[in-house]
Amino acid sequence: MSDGNSHFLMALGRHDGGHVVETVDDQLRDVIAAVQRTGKKGSVAVQVNDETNGEQGLQTSFTVKATAPQVQFGKSFYYADRNGDLSRQPTDYVQETLLKAEA
């Protein structure tokens, strides 16, 4: 049984000056917000990658992957003016174009 001191958590917390833990925190926060918005599931995974480094050493790196549920948005109809700005009302430019098309 563990005495509460985790070598994994020590390495995770110290790796890249704690940047891995900060990244996991940020991504977890984003996933939780998306789960609360959508009611769908999400996940954050931390992968530990180890390989040998010489005769006795190890080289360790971490990969963080977040999967947040995507929000589905409805469709809306807009008009665009000459500058590409959107409006709910037909602009003079749109009305002129429609009139030319009808002629």
32-36, 43-47, 57-61, 89-93: which has the minimum mean pLDDT? 89-93
**pLDDT, mean of residues 58-69:** 95
- How far, in Å, CA of 42 to CA of 63, rounded? 17
- Tell me whether strands 86-87 and 57-67 are parallel, antiparallel or unpaired: unpaired
Q: Quick check: 96 pLDDT over 80?
A: no
Q: Is 37 exposed, middle or buried, given 0-12, 13-18 or 19+ CB atoms closer than 10 A?
A: exposed
Q: Quick check: 30 pLDDT over 80?
A: yes
- 52's CB contacts (< 8 A; 6+ apart) are 58, 59
pTM attached to this predicted model: 0.63
- How far, in Å, CA of 52 to CA of 59, rounded? 6
At residue 79, the pLDDT reads 86
